[in-house]
């Protein structure tokens, strides 16, 4: 994948995440009111932020040797998991009443990754079977 395709895919992923976050916010508003909606939006925003950090880190290694690319990917994912873990510990410790909506907002950003992987698998030139 070249840089232009990567950037286009990341932009698409982040748009899908934003849409899913908004829908999650509406659902949480219906279930728990404005406070839950805001908590879901914050959780989703945190997931969107982590996507941007990961994409920037992975994008830096696109034109490197495969071993360096993989190493950069693993570093990006390590940073993402550490920051997510710290964020969830903070919410669970100091804002336990909002843990569920924050987790729901973050979770929809993960769902968007599945959609992006499916989209990439169906791209022309993909090495997967499209049948």
Query: Domain residues of the chain, as ranges?
Result: 3-119
Confidence of residue 128 (pLDDT cuts 50, 70, 90): low
> In the chain, pLDDT over 70 holds for what percent of residues?
95
Q: Report how far residue 27's alpha carbon sits from residue 17's, in angstroms, rounded to the nearest whole number.
A: 15
Provide the sign of the torsion angle of the four alpha carbons 77, 78, 81, 82, taken in this order.
negative
Q: Is the pLDDT of residue 126 over 70?
A: no
Residue where the block lists tokens 């940073």: 79
């Amino acid at each position: 994948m070249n840089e232009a395709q990567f950037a286009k895919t990341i932009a698409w992923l982040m748009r899908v995440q934003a849409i899913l976050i908004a829908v999650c916010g509406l659902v949480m508003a219906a279930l728990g009111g404005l406070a839950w909606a805001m908590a879901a939006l914050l959780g989703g925003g945190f997931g969107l932020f982590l996507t941007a950090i990961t994409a920037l880190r992975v994008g830096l290694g696109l034109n490197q040797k495969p071993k360096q690319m993989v190493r950069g990917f693993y570093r990006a994912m390590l940073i993402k998991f550490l920051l997510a873990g710290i964020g969830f510990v903070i919410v669970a410790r100091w804002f336990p009443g909002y843990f569920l909506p924050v987790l729901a907002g973050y979770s929809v950003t993960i769902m968007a990754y599945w959609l992006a992987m499916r989209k990439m698998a169906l791209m022309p030139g993909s090495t997967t079977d499209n049948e």
